[in-house]
């Protein structure tokens, strides 16, 4: 007999025994006894069900996901002076967890929305990152950021030389992962390193991807500004970021600002001085009535 069968037999014996005891009691005492027994048995049953669920999934995050909700942000300013897209690249499994959590939480605090450039590989194995995405899903757009952000033997980026068929297979895999994250069908693709081949561009079109955001992308969805100067390895000052946005804002187009979780780390730890620049950026966007939008909002 398995554990569940043994438990069922034990419950049956317990109920019969309690019934026999109840028959020997006075009416008033019997009522109290029955109420106490029902409550105790209910608590036991609920505890067993939760234990079974825990053993099956082996992670409390699965329980917490069932009760999480996402509260949409609502900008407090009146008239909108312009639009920006905050493109947070390199959201991935088992990396930059604290930084990613803080960036998302503080975006909510300042009523800002983000586009998350998600690296699909392994993301379904990381319950922590899945939980973060679930918590903020109503305020973010998920964009496919390659598959694993790998490099070729020649140091080329993942989609830099990809042919149409290979690129399409990778994009399909990314879409399947996003479906399991409870995301809507992705409409935006961010190529690792901002490099993308003509074959990959054709594959994106065939897979229904409407927005390609890369440094030299055709149209208005290239990279306009960044929060980190990689060549010089230093943070970009907020006034310089906004200066880089002036042309797009003057044309009444969304300025795309690229950031990464690792921009705000020293070693593997959030650097308070660097992170203060992120808070300054969010506060400045709010103070200047610059609305944060997503690529999906452009349709």
User: What is residue 27's predicted lDDT score, i.e. its pLDDT?
Assistant: 58
Task: List, in order, residues 6 or more apart from 113 with CB less than 8 Å away.
Answer: 73, 86, 107, 139, 140, 141, 292, 293, 294
Neighbour-count burial for 232-260, b at 16+ CB within 10 Å, e otherwise: eeebbebeebbebbeebbeeebbbbbbbb
Tokens of 293: 């939008």
Tokens of 188: 């935006």
Task: List, in order, residues 6 or more apart from 274 with CB less than 8 Å away.
Answer: 235, 263, 264, 265, 266
Local structure of 211: helix, strand or coil: strand
User: What is residue 54's predicted lDDT score, i.e. its pLDDT?
Assistant: 41
The CA distance from 218 to 213, in Å, is: 9
Given a cut of 50, the residues of the chain with pLDDT beneath it are 1-10, 12, 33, 43, 46, 48-66
Helix (H) or strand (E) holding 143: strand 140-144
Per DSSP bridges, beta strands 290-292 and 82-91 are: parallel
Question: Which tens digits make up the pLDDT trace of 80-96?
Answer: 999 999 999 999 999 99
Question: Which tens digits make up the pLDDT trace of 6-45?
Answer: 444 445 455 555 555 556 656 555 565 455 555 555 545 5
DSSP label at 157?
A: B
């Amino acid at each position: 007999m398995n554990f569940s069968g043994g438990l069922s037999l034990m419950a049956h014996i317990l109920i019969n025994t309690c019934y026999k005891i109840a028959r020997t009691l006075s009416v008033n005492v019997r009522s109290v006894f029955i109420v106490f027994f029902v409550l105790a048995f209910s608590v036991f049953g609920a505890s067993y069900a939760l234990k079974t669920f825990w053993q099956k999934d082996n992670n409390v995050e699965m329980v917490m996901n069932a009760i999480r909700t996402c509260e949409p942000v609502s900008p407090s300013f009146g008239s909108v002076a312009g639009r920006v897209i905050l493109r947070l690249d390199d959201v991935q499994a088992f990396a930059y967890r604290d930084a990613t959590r803080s960036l998302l939480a503080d975006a909510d605090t300042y009523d800002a929305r983000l586009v998350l450039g998600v690296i699909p590989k392994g993301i379904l194995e990381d319950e922590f990152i899945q939980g973060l995405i679930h918590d903020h899903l109503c305020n973010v757009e998920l964009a496919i950021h390659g598959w694993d952000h790998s490099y070729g033997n020649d140091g080329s980026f993942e989609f830099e030389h990809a042919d149409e068929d290979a690129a399409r297979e990778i994009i399909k895999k990314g879409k399947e992962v996003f479906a399991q994250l409870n995301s809507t069908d992705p409409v935006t693709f961010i190529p690792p390193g901002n490099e993308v081949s003509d074959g990959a561009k054709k594959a994106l079109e065939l897979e229904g991807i409407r927005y390609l955001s890369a440094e030299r992308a055709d149209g208005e969805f290239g990279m306009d500004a960044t929060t980190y100067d990689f060549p010089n390895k230093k943070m970009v000052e907020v006034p310089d970021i906004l200066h880089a946005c002036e042309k797009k804002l003057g044309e009444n187009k969304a300025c795309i600002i690229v950031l990464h979780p690792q921009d705000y780390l020293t070693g593997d730890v959030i650097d308070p001085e660097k992170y203060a620049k992120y808070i300054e950026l969010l506060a400045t966007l709010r103070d200047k009535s610059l609305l944060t939008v997503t690529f999906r909002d452009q349709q």
